[in-house]
Amino acid sequence: MWRAVASGRFITLEGGEGAGKSTQALRLAERLRAKGQEVVLTREPGGSPGAETIRGLLVTGDADRWSALTETLLMCAARRDHVERTIAPALARGAWVVSDRFADSTRAYQGAGGGVPTAFIAVLEAQVVGDARPDLTVILDLPAEAGLARAASRPHGETRFEEKGEAFHRRLRDGFLSLARAEPGRCVVVDAGADPESVAAAIWEIVQARLIGA
């Protein structure tokens, strides 16, 4: 049974390319709104006007346009604006925030995938994120090959990360799964290979168990 929560909650959806994060973030936001909650649906990189400008630099162009270290700095610049302009104000007024990606994507993409040292990312994250840390992170897990095949069918030009190759995407998948093992209190892995309705149902069950009933 639905039980109202007085303060805002922050949920992030993570995973590799083609895992269905955008679809599931939208479904979750709609379900929460149907229960009477104010929900801010957002994404990374992006989520605020300044961050969306930086997004264009990150997701378009050649795969080697930026080094992994430069990507990290750009991601953190976008994330700080996102936190300041969108996430923190929403949480402060008691809204729920559902974000398609957040700080874990930097750990996986630039860290596990790109080789940027974990300690360096952690120092930046502490300064950039501050207190705006997710209450729950759902990691949508899919083999790299399957995710890339799904992503290839999408009609958009934001393909820079998709073009980094299967080895890169296998590393970042491993990175996400390592994060889930390291932080089981926050992270839950969901099989993204199932049909969208089943994935949405699994996510809703997790949200109910971890946040609504908490």
Query: Could you report the per-residue pLDDT of 146-188, keeping only the tens digit for each?
Result: 888 888 876 677 889 988 999 999 999 999 999 999 999 999 9
Q: Give the span between the Cα atoms of 99 and 134, in whole angstroms.
A: 9
Among the listed residues 22, 49, 40, the one whose alpha carbon sits nearest the alpha carbon of residue 199: 22
**From CA 187, how far away is CA 163, in angstroms rounded?**
27
- What are the structural domain ranges in the chain? 10-212
Alpha carbon 111 to its chain centroid, in Å, reads 15
pLDDT for res 7: 67
From 134, 100, 133, select the one nearest 25 (Cα to Cα). Answer: 100
pLDDT of residue 152: 80
Q: Which CATH architecture has domain 10-212?
A: 3-Layer(aba) Sandwich (3.40)
Banded pLDDT at 11 (limits 50, 70, 90): very high
H or E segment at 202?
A: helix 196-207
- CA distances, 86 to each of 49, 57, 148 (Å): 10, 20, 30
Distance CA 6, CA 138 (A): 22
Q: List, for residues 96-128, the tens digit of each pLDDT value.
A: 999 999 999 999 999 999 999 999 999 999 999
Give the model's pLDDT for residue 8. 81
Query: What pLDDT score was predicted for residue 155?
Result: 62
Question: Alpha helix (H) ranges present in 8-117?
Answer: 21-34, 49-59, 68-82, 88-92, 103-105
